Amino acid sequence: MANFRQNHKKSSRGEATGMATKVGLFAVLMGIVYWGFQKFSGKTPVDAPAETVVKEDVENVELTGTDSIFYLPTNPNGEIIQHKYYALSYVEKYELPEWCAYELTAERLNQPWVERADDFRPDPKVPTESSGLEDYRRSKYDRGHIVPAADMAFSTEASSETFFMSNIAPQEPGFNKGVWRELEELTRDWAKRFKHLYVVTGPVLSQPIKFWIGENQVAVAPSFYKVMLDLSEPEVKAIGFIVPNATSNERIETFAVSVDEVEQLTGINFFQNLMEPGLEKELEANFDVSLWKTNEKKFQRRVQEWNFQ
């Protein structure tokens, strides 16, 4: 099974890379057209395919509608909430986001980190009201970030946005401070190496819920997922991770799966608007874990220190 999961033929990579180049050039040209149309008409071209709507950076873009972020999953079950630096789909039934989506770039990560905000608060953009701090009091669970504060540490405003309770989920302490922390740190390492990643992450809500906490009955998910897409040349690639919400001594590689496997488990459709169907099918069906280098020191720190904090 491991060999099957890690099988990503060089010929397929070459085809994907070539296609990505074509898609990239076409997207840049159409992105310019789209920008011009928006600027002078204030409307979205009716005939423009979704994958041609391109933005390199959303740092200074004020988000106003569900079509303004082209990399969001395309079949949300919850209420789409758009903050300035990330977007999410909030499912009232669980008082959780089914996904949070954002771009992670080396440019941002290499900036000096601002002071951590720690200003946990309800999300005013959730029409049905999000969970609150009181839901986590006297529970054994950590307030676990979905979009990590460290991913947004380049800006005080961006960091503060990650403390909306719509971006928080109950996590076992050994999971939050251990294996999930390691995966988050590795994700930042990969973003620095590959320069630009599209990231979607969240709790798995399609499996039986472990527990419910607080007056608002916040669901404790049995596991969490993270999917990543790198469209940079010369090695376009994607990968997913499904990690049980528990302390673990297993290596991160054991949780690696294809994006297709995460889609099948969660029912969420990732990255559809970023690629032509052929490229999407190729990248989401295959992955090569050797392209996503892990860190032995982080693993040893996790099993020797982080799991016990």
From the list 95, 68, 71, the residue with the least C-alpha distance to 84 is 68
Active site (annotated) includes residue 145: yes
Which domain does 243 fall in, by range? Answer: 2-308
Which residues pair with residue 164 across a beta bridge?
Answer: 121
User: Rounded to an integer, what distance in angstroms lies between the CA atom of residue 20 and that of residue 14?
Assistant: 10
pLDDT digits (tens, 9 = 90+) for 74-121: 888 999 999 999 999 999 999 999 999 999 999 999 999 999 989 999
**Confidence at residue 75, expressed as pLDDT on a 0 to 100 scale:** 85
pLDDT digits (tens, 9 = 90+) for 221-271: 999 999 999 998 888 999 999 999 999 999 999 999 999 999 999 999 999
Instruction: Report the domain count for the chain.
Output: 1
CATH code of the domain in which 68 resides: 3.40.570.10
pLDDT digits (tens, 9 = 90+) for 269-303: 999 888 888 999 999 999 999 999 999 999 999 99
pLDDT digits (tens, 9 = 90+) for 132-190: 999 999 999 999 999 999 999 999 999 999 999 999 999 999 999 999 999 999 999 99
Token pair for 303: 């099993």
Give 9-28 as a 3 state SS string.
Answer: CHHHHHHHHHHHHHHHHHHH
Percent of the chain with pLDDT over 70: 78
> Looking at 8, 83, 145, 196, which residue is catalytic?
145
pLDDT surpassing 90 at residue 60: no
Query: Which residue is associated with the tokens 């994700």?
Result: 187
**Confidence at residue 65, expressed as pLDDT on a 0 to 100 scale:** 34
Task: Tell me the CA distances in angstroms from 89 to 65, 69, 72, 96, 232, one per residue in order.
Answer: 13, 13, 9, 8, 27
Task: Tell me the CA distances in angstroms from 74 to 56, 77, 138, 184, 191, one per residue in order.
Answer: 20, 10, 37, 24, 23
**Confidence at residue 35, expressed as pLDDT on a 0 to 100 scale:** 41
